Structure 1
Amino acid sequence: MELIITFIGGFAIFLYGMNQMGKGLQKAAGNKMKQLLAVLTNNRFLGVIVGALVTAIVQSSSATTVMIVGFVNAGLLNLTQAVGVIMGANIGTTITSWVVAMGEWSKYLKPDNMAPVAIAIGAYLMFFTKDKKKKQIGEIFVGFGMLFIGLGFMSDAVKPYRTSPVFKEAFKAFGENPFLGILVGAVVTFLVQSSSASVGILQTIAAATFLPFNAAVYIILGQNIGTCMTALLSSIGANKTAKRAAYIHLLFNIIGTIIFTVGIIIFFTYINPEMGYTETTMTSISIFHTIFNVGSTLLLFPFASYLVHLSGKIVRGQDKPDASNQDTVLRHLDERILETPSFAVENAIKEVVYMGRLAIENTKIATEALLERDVEKYQKAKENEKHINKIERLITDYLVKISNTSINEHQKQIVNNLFNSINDIERVGDHAENIAELAEYHMANDLYLSDDALQELTQMIQKTIETIELAIDARENEDIEAIRKVIQNEEIVDTLEEELRERHIKRLSQNLCTATTGVVFLDTISNLERISDHALNIAYYVKDEIL
């Protein structure tokens, strides 16, 4: 019981260290993750590279594939793009096994020696330096050290069983029965929800006891199938295209496992039977794990389109179109993407921009309702405002979830600015609604603006809409030139508001328009000036992030 508790505790520390190292790497990567997202094109080769790099940073192919399902569900990736990233994720997951194997290369790299050194360096960087980048590197070192402490505990718990006949007979059975070995590998990986972790367990067993090479390779093959279950489970509730992405991951690993299993059986049976009974090392597990994942990618990469086609045979039918803007945004703010917080931040920016575009469109509709005396546009503006309010709540909930993930200080600043931005955008929507209500009042009371008033309003409306459009463009592209134009335009709108107010008061004094019409005019230019103020706020948030 003591040994079991030690092993479980060691495994928990190992998982925590791996998770901590992944969080530190993500924080340190920061905007580089955004650049990775930008190169996701229909070029599958680039997809493989991105998948490998993301998984190396996240330290989990399961997290990457779950994220891919989320991206596909959100419509941010198509299946052609996803298949390359999935293949790359399998390659990236081999990094952890090489980190674990380091202990065999030199006595100085053994867990007992590496752990205290890594934690000491990490603790120093985290607690005694002020530089944020160094603190993030410190988190990586602490995670690295915890990983090695966990390995040490697991190794100590397994060592007493080195001569155990039960272990010996079990490993012999796994080596002689490929199906049994693959099944064990798949089940263990499914239970721990991480192929990197299950490979780490296998390496620990290999270092502490006698593990035949044939048993090890079959278990590794099973581990690559078991890791697909996480993505399959995450696809529950997703659209059909996202489900196909999860099945592509499963098909890729099953087909690769079948090919390698047939080849290994032939090799161990007819070419080199003795090799199957040799003792496995941690490094040999890393080598085979890498050969399998790289080899499967090389073999199946040319047939990626067939995998997409086959997934369509498994998951039949087409996705139904979304019923409303709310459904669309809810699908885009997919919680699976939170597995990779850096990408979740970028996804949130896209939806804030989307909300901004809706507010701009509603401003146009509301002002047109006033200028054109159009009842239908007034009603449309009122409906749109309800959608904007719903979308604000959805984005707010998503931003709260992002703020509770492992993001660096710069990303925290972006998230805080996004909170403020959606509040400003929602206020733009409110002012558009105010203008729509002024239009309705204008029509209901059979009021008419003079030609001069209409011309002046049109001028101010155009400048205001241009200002909010530039602010949303600045948010989307982090465009410093757009920010400068927003600042200039906002000053112009402020000046226009003052001039138009004076001119209209002069018209009122000359009895060129009625007091009731004057209220509509003055309230409209006041709402337009407030819209430009909110546009300036949005631009300043972006300016704070990039300067």
Structure 2
Amino acid sequence: MTAMLTLAGGIGLFLLGMGLLTDGLKIAAGGALRTLLQTWTRTSVRGFAVGVLITAVVQSSSAVTVATVGFVNARLLSLRRAVWVILGTNVGTTMTGWLVALVGVKVDVGALALPLIGIGMALTLTAGERARLAGAGRSLTGFGLFFLGVGVLAAGFGGVAPSLAALTPESAGLLSIAAFVLIGALVTVLTQSSSAAIAIVLTASAGEAFALELAAAAVIGTNLGTTSTAVFAALGAGAPARRVASAHILFNLFAGAVALITLPLLLPAARELAGLALGSEDMPSTLALFHTLFNVTGVILAWPLVNRTVRWLSARFVTEDETLARPAHLDPTSLPVPSLALNALAMELARMTSLTLELVREAAGPKPVARKRLALRADGLMQLGERIREFLARLNASALPESVTAAVPDLVRTLQHLEELAGLAAEIAPDRTPPGRFGKGEAWLALQQALQACLDFDPAGMSELAFERRLKKLDRTFQSAYRDVKTELLHGVSKGELDVGAVDPALMHARRIRQICDTVLKARRRLHAWRPLASDTDPKGAEPAETASAES
């Protein structure tokens, strides 16, 4: 009983130390974690290196994984770059094993841990408002508690080692390997720290509490259990986060399977290498090297599969906003031919126009619509706008004929108008009608009809003269209807028939309708000047149908 209580206390000290260490280093580093993840992961090698480095420094693959999932979910990091960071965390987390094997179980704990705790607390208490100095103090305190916890764990396992030492694969059967894999995974899930689980296993092995093969199986289990962090972080998050969690699970299962299959080869190799490189074949050093070997081997074998896995995952968990955000006409192969690229841009903007007007029509319609769904679709259209901008930037990077260059301002302004409409659609509330009898008045009905007419306006097949006449008529109609609604509402307030608090939201709704009508017509005018090409072989590029007569 005493041994079990000692083990519990050692685990508590270790987890407390890991928490202080991780939090302190994140504070001391400032925004370095965010900067590294966003700007230093542009290639696979750099992404992998960043994952290794950050995890080794903060001593927490969980912290790096949660940050990576968050950045992907916020679309600050692509799935491909995130996968390489996750692979790097698997290798970086092996640093904990080396700390335990080379320092934790071989150095006088009191001589190392207690001074670190004292110095760390002194820095924390004297830091004042210097956050980074306080963070450094917390991390030093965490290091001290880390090693103190390792010492307490070693003492605790010394009490239970005799009862576990007889447990071997030969005596317990092959199922004992699977059982220890499960134990390693379970401890990691419960502590939410593969570092803690590794430290427990290596500390137990220092006292030869159980056979080397079983300890190695538990180490493999910690790699499987650490995927729970990504799963928990992805719960309730968007599709990108679920893809990262799935990638983490797939690659860790792959590495674990490789380790189990090659266990009879890797474990003796790790023992031999430990003897050659470290001059010692003790169990902690062997297990630390085994942990590193199978993670590095897993990364090497998974390397050729990353791109294929990313493509496969990209087609999973697809949501409505991602479907909207996926361009239908922007083919990169058209970029060398400016006329073809302009045609693709015009068609994509026409598609975005239809999708945006459909969203506005639904948002402003009589039936109530879930705000969350509207916001999701609006976000998808914003993402589509970013894809169009990226395509435009790539097109502008090369020399363009004057006719194509002249189209760019109109296309950019069209895109801006459509993005504005998507934002308005997410804001407008269909139930904010004028109060009382004014909600059923002719002015309000006329404004709603004007909105519907603007949304339904399709200039396809119109001559330029007919297009301009129709545009001006729609503009006069909605402006007049808005003025009538505004006049009725303000007269109702001045006569005491309406309360100001009831009129304000209705007036705001009417203003949004006017803004939507105005923006729809501006987008139509800008895009109408640049129709998609009828032929893909026009050597001169597209010509504008007619210069827009009104500024927008």
Equivalent in the alignment of 2:298: 296
Q: TM-score, normalised by structure 1?
A: 0.55
Q: How many angstroms does 1:118 deviate by? A: 0.5
Change (3 A) 1:272 1:39: closer
Equivalent in the alignment of 2:113: 115
CA contact (8 A) 1:211 1:280 kept: no
Secondary structure of the equivalent of 1:289?
helix
Equivalent in the alignment of 2:49: 49
In structure 2, C-alpha distance between the alignment counterparts of 1:270 and 1:123, rounded to whole Å: 42
1:146 equivalent to 2:145? Answer yes
Equivalent in the alignment of 2:502: none
Equivalent in the alignment of 1:211: 210
1:86 equivalent to 2:109? Answer no
Q: How many angstroms does 1:310 deviate by? A: 4.7
Identity of aligned residues (%): 32
Change (3 A) 1:269 1:175: farther
In structure 1, C-alpha distance between the alignment counterparts of 2:268 and 2:34, rounded to whole Å: 49
Q: How does 1:76-225 map to 2 (within 5 A)?
A: 76-103=76-103, 107=107, 110-128=108-126, 132-164=131-163, 166-169=164-167, 176=174, 177-225=176-224
Equivalent in the alignment of 1:27: 27
Structure 2 unaligned residues grouped into runs of 5+? 275-279, 323-372, 383-412, 430-478, 489-552
In structure 2, C-alpha distance between the alignment counterparts of 1:272 and 1:147, rounded to whole Å: 26
Q: How does 1:466-477 map to 2 (within 5 A)?
A: none
AA matched with 1:160: G
Equivalent in the alignment of 1:286: 288
Structure with the largest fraction of helix: 1
AA matched with 2:74: A
Equivalent in the alignment of 2:308: 306
Q: How does 1:481-500 map to 2 (within 5 A)?
A: none
Residues 469-523 of structure 1 show CA distances to partners (whole Å, capped at 9, x for unaligned) of xxxxxxxxxxxxxxxxxxxxxxxxxxxxxxxxxxxxxxxxxxxxxxxxxxxxxxx
Secondary structure of the equivalent of 2:205?
helix
In structure 2, C-alpha distance between the alignment counterparts of 1:234 and 1:125, rounded to whole Å: 33
Q: How many angstroms does 1:85 deviate by? A: 0.8
AA matched with 1:282: P
Change (3 A) 1:51 1:57: same
In structure 1, C-alpha distance between the alignment counterparts of 2:148 and 2:309, rounded to whole Å: 41
Q: How many angstroms does 1:44 deviate by? A: 1.7
In structure 1, C-alpha distance between the alignment counterparts of 2:117 and 2:245, rounded to whole Å: 37
Change (3 A) 1:259 1:20: same
Secondary structure of the equivalent of 1:238?
coil
Secondary structure of the equivalent of 2:262?
helix
AA matched with 1:308: V
CA RMSD in angstroms, aligned pairs only? 4.1
In structure 2, C-alpha distance between the alignment counterparts of 1:264 and 1:256, rounded to whole Å: 12
CA contact (8 A) 2:66 2:233 kept: yes
Secondary structure of the equivalent of 1:178?
helix
Change (3 A) 1:307 1:167: farther
Equivalent in the alignment of 1:37: 37
Q: How many angstroms does 1:200 deviate by? A: 0.6
AA matched with 1:13: L
Q: How many angstroms does 1:15 deviate by? A: 0.3
Q: How does 1:111-510 map to 2 (within 5 A)?
A: 111-128=109-126, 132-164=131-163, 166-169=164-167, 176=174, 177-266=176-265, 280-311=282-313, 316=316, 318-321=318-321, 323-325=373-375
Structure 1 unaligned residues grouped into runs of 5+? 333-360, 366-376, 388-436, 447-547
Q: How many angstroms does 1:202 deviate by? A: 0.4
Q: How many angstroms does 1:196 deviate by? A: 0.8
Secondary structure of the equivalent of 1:77?
coil
CA contact (8 A) 1:61 1:89 kept: yes
Secondary structure of the equivalent of 2:75?
coil
Higher relative contact order (CA 8 A, sep 6+): 1
Q: TM-score, normalised by structure 2?
A: 0.55
CA contact (8 A) 2:374 2:425 kept: no
Secondary structure of the equivalent of 2:166?
helix
Matched residue pairs, number? 348
Q: How many angstroms does 1:175 deviate by? A: 8.5
Structure number with larger C-alpha Rg: 2
